[in-house]
Amino acid sequence: MQVILPDRSVRTLSRTSAPIEEILLELGINPTTVIVVKNGKVVPEDVTAKKGDELRILRFSHGG
Amino acid sequence: MQCSKCRRDAVIYQRYSGLHLCEQHFNRDFEAKAKRAIREHRWIESGDTVAVALSGSKDSSAVLFFLHRLLHERRDVRLMAITVDEGIGGYRDPGLARAIADTIGVPWVTATFAEAYGLTLDEIVARKGTNLSCSCCGVLRRALMNRIAREEGVTKFAYGFNLDDEAQSVLMNALRGDAERLTRPVREAERMVPRIKPFMYIPEREVALYAFLHVEGFDLAGCPYAGDALRGDVRGILDDYAYRHPATKYSLVNLGEALREPERVTGEGLRVCERCGEPCGKICRTCQILDEMRKGT
Ligand SMILES: [Zn+2]
Ligand SMILES: [Zn+2]
């Protein structure tokens, strides 16, 4: 699966399947501070990502 | 993952409520919380002109979208958007805010630091450094907003402050040992036009999601000069803690509201700056800052 990080860099993960929350924690990201878009759809972090999925992680800036 | 209230796919899991919500039920939940905040504080009344301070950020875009949805059928309340262009090179073109206001269908006005003060924020930073500039910018922006508000007959300013902002402020005041701020929120010049915060009970992440679902073209970037180190620290600590204890941010906001003394609405303590005629506490901060800038100190 492919993960597009908030800084737009791309990571390819070799795992076949894992809950998104677990993937985020492994990347050092607090799941409650981001929005995750899986294959173009916003999903909660307890959804499982599988091989071939694309995850886009959006971090929102503070204030303004 | 299925919505806890229907069979559609969920877009969010709310740890603090234990609910999964689909887009439709998320919107309903979000708007109910914002309406509750407005109702509880009696923030919008017949005859009001509500102005959103629209920077183009997720928070201000979301609050404009929400208020338009809430108010567009009311004949007795007016809604508008005001954008202040501080003059930060390469950051938030006011055209972006304008496009958002146009798309939503709300009248938009703008003002610039350059025209109002003869100074851009970039110039202020060059003289004062990043740290001080942030608070100077806040003072100057609010003074300018107040001026436009009077010209436009604005009776309420709506800000996109969310649960996280509020909770961070309470915790910051506690960590500083600032009992004064905890019990009496600042009542300076900007308080002349009351501020309303419809999203104060809504987590930042949900405000971002609401903006993501409804507003095109909002700005995800933060201000390049935003330099409040303590707030950044507190944000990190609070997010980590709240991940394990999901109700924490609500507890802090409730604590802040419980400690706050009711605002006195007498004109007591209210003065007008001799220099510019703007309302102020003691000495007009705006004029102080502008003096320093112009002297080049
Ligand atoms: Zn639903
Ligand atoms: Zn003054």
Interface predicted TM-score of the whole assembly (ipTM), two decimals: 0.93
Which among B11, B56, B222 is the nearest to A62, CB-wise? B222
Average pLDDT over residues B266-285: 61
The total of structural domains in chain B comes to: 2
Is residue B69 one of the residues assigned to a domain?
yes
Q: In this structure, how many other beta carbons lie within 10 angstroms of the beta carbon of residue B102?
A: 12
User: What is residue B162's predicted lDDT score, i.e. its pLDDT?
Assistant: 93
Both B203 and B80 in one domain: the answer is yes
Collect all residues from B whose CB is shorter than 8 A from any CB in A.
Answer: 1, 9-13, 15, 20, 23, 55-60, 160, 165, 203-205, 208-209, 212-213, 219-223, 226, 231-232, 235, 239-240, 242-243
Both B279 and B239 in one domain: the answer is no
Average pLDDT over residues B262-289: 63
**Nearest to B199, CA basis, from B21, B12, B19, B33:** B33
Strands laid side by side in the A41-43 sheet: A10-12, A2-4, A54-59, A34-38, A41-43
Which of B12, B55, B85, B225 should one mutate to test binding to chain A, selecting the residue with the greatest count of A CBs within 10 A? B12
pLDDT cut 90: percent of chain B above it: 53
Q: Is the pLDDT of residue B221 over 70?
A: no
CA of B283 to the centre of ligand 2 (A): 8
CA of A9 to the centre of ligand 1 (A): 33
User: What is residue B191's predicted lDDT score, i.e. its pLDDT?
Assistant: 53
Average pLDDT over residues B48-57: 92
Query: Which pair of structure tokens corresponds to residue B271?
Result: 């003065």
Both B79 and B114 in one domain: the answer is yes
Q: Does A49 touch chain B (CB under 8 A)?
A: no
HEC states along chain A? CEEECCCCCEEECCCCEEEHHHHHHHCCCCHHHEEEEECCEEECCCCEEECCCEEEEEECCCCC
Between B88 and B203, residue with greater pLDDT:
B203
List of chain A residues whose C-beta atoms are within 8 Å of the C-beta of residue B213: 42
Residue-wise pLDDT for A19-58, tens only, equals: 999 999 999 999 999 999 999 999 999 999 999 999 999 9
Average pLDDT over residues B255-262: 84
Question: Do B212 and A47 make contact, defined as CB atoms within 8 angstroms?
Answer: no
Both B86 and B120 in one domain: the answer is yes
Q: In this structure, how many other beta carbons lie within 10 angstroms of the beta carbon of residue B128?
A: 18
Is residue B5 one of the residues assigned to a domain?
no
Which among A35, A58, A61 is the nearest to B221, CB-wise? A61
List of chain A residues whose C-beta atoms are within 8 Å of the C-beta of residue B222: 61-64
Average pLDDT over residues B55-66: 92
Distance from CA of A11 to the nearest CA of B (A): 21
Q: Is the pLDDT of residue B280 over 90?
A: no
Both B239 and B291 in one domain: the answer is no
Question: Do B165 and A63 make contact, defined as CB atoms within 8 angstroms?
Answer: yes
Q: Does A26 touch chain B (CB under 8 A)?
A: no
Is residue B50 one of the residues assigned to a domain?
yes
User: What is residue B145's predicted lDDT score, i.e. its pLDDT?
Assistant: 86
Both B195 and B75 in one domain: the answer is yes
Both B211 and B140 in one domain: the answer is yes
User: What is residue B95's predicted lDDT score, i.e. its pLDDT?
Assistant: 86
Structural domain including B274 reads 269-297
The β-bridge partners of A34 are A59
In whole angstroms, give the CA distance from residue B143 to residue B53. Answer: 13
Find the residue in B nearest to A7 (Cα): B221
What is the residue extent of each domain of chain A?
2-59
Q: Does A28 touch chain B (CB under 8 A)?
A: no
Q: Is B9 helix (H, G, I), strand (E, B) or coil?
A: strand
Q: Is the pLDDT of residue A64 over 60?
A: no
Both B73 and B207 in one domain: the answer is yes
Is residue B110 one of the residues assigned to a domain?
yes
Question: Do A44 and B13 make contact, defined as CB atoms within 8 angstroms?
Answer: yes
Both B197 and B274 in one domain: the answer is no
Write the class of the CATH domain A2-59.
alpha beta
Cβ pair B197, B37 in contact under 8 A: yes
| Ramachandran sector of residue B105 (left: φ over 0; alpha: ψ -120 to 50; beta: rest) | left
H helices of chain B, in order, are 23-41, 58-71, 94-104, 113-117, 121-128, 130-152, 163-176, 179-183, 204-214, 229-244, 248-259, 285-295
CATH code of residue B133: 3.40.50.620
Looking at the CA of B25, name the nearest ligand. Answer: 1
Q: How confident is the model at residue B242 (pLDDT cuts 50, 70, 90)?
A: very high
In whole angstroms, give the CA distance from residue B163 to residue A47. Answer: 25
Please name the amino acid found at residue A57: I
Is residue B37 one of the residues assigned to a domain?
no
List of chain B residues whose C-beta atoms are within 8 Å of the C-beta of residue A20: none
Question: Do A58 and B12 make contact, defined as CB atoms within 8 angstroms?
Answer: no
Average pLDDT over residues B12-26: 96
Average pLDDT over residues B62-76: 96
Size of interface A-B (CB pairs under 8 A): 75
Residue-wise pLDDT for B24-42, tens only, equals: 999 999 999 999 999 999 9
CA of B136 to the centre of ligand 2 (A): 14
Cβ pair B136, B124 in contact under 8 A: yes
Between A59 and B44, residue with greater pLDDT:
B44
